[in-house]
């Protein structure tokens, strides 16, 4: 094998509240130990997750999250794939943070959802326990509710407040913003797509 490209997670350190951060941290360490040249792509939260969240927020009339006032460098899966493809032939070993063009708070996401809905969709901060209870109550298995709510805690604690120019530097194209992504996927957000 001449070069390893591995998709990891933003800031997978030992204090990360994200449930599977340890898996990525340990895998990164094992890859490094091989001595094989590698590119570790630390993908931030996928903007694509906001399609489901947005649909739920429109249905509930508010965006409920346990992210506090935190921000995240949401990135689309398409931008992650383009960056990975562009770096397949990279030489040496690097760690790259794959992010969108800016960090975004829940209030900004709610503003875009309001634009899509044509009515006010406020952001309502809630506790992780309340988020877990609501998602499990709506049918999400507890282990999945735990994982998804850990993303919110990571946002609140600043672990995902990261943005870089790595996508543009590797592909020659700026990554898509959360706002542009949500507007381009209005049908999915409104449940019509």
pLDDT along the chain (193 residues), means of 10: 89 93 96 95 96 92 97 98 90 94 98 97 97 91 93 97 96 97 95 75
What pLDDT is recorded for position 193?
63
Distance between CA 20 and CA 36 in Å, rounded? 24
Burial string for 131-161 (b: 16+ CB within 10 Å, else e) reads bbebbbeeebeeeebeebbbbbbbbbbebbb
CATH dotted code for 4-186: 3.40.50.720
Give yes or no for a contact between 79 and 175, defined as CB atoms under 8 angstroms apart: yes
What pLDDT is recorded for position 1?
57
What pLDDT is recorded for position 89?
80
Q: What are the extents of the domains in the chain?
A: 4-186
């Amino acid at each position: 094998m001449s070069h390893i490209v591995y998709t990891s997670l933003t800031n997978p350190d030992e204090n990360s509240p994200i449930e599977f951060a340890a898996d990525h941290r340990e895998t990164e360490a094992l890859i490094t130990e091989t001595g094989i040249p590698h590119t570790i792509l630390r993908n931030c939260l996928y903007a694509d997750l906001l399609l489901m969240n947005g649909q739920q927020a429109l249905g509930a009339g508010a965006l409920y999250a346990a992210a506090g006032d935190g921000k995240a460098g949401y990135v689309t899966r398409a931008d992650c794939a383009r960056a990975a493809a562009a770096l397949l032939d990279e030489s040496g070993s690097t760690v790259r943070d794959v992010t969108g063009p800016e960090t975004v708070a829940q209030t900004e996401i709610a503003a875009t959802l309001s634009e899509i809905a044509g009515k006010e969709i406020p952001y309502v901060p809630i506790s992780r326990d309340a988020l877990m209870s609501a998602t499990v109550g709506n049918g999400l298995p507890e282990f999945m509710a735990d994982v998804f709510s850990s993303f919110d805690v990571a946002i609140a604690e600043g672990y995902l407040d990261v943005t870089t120019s790595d996508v543009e530097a590797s592909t020659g194209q700026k990554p898509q913003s959360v706002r542009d992504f949500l507007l381009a996927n209005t049908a999915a957000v409104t449940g019509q797509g």
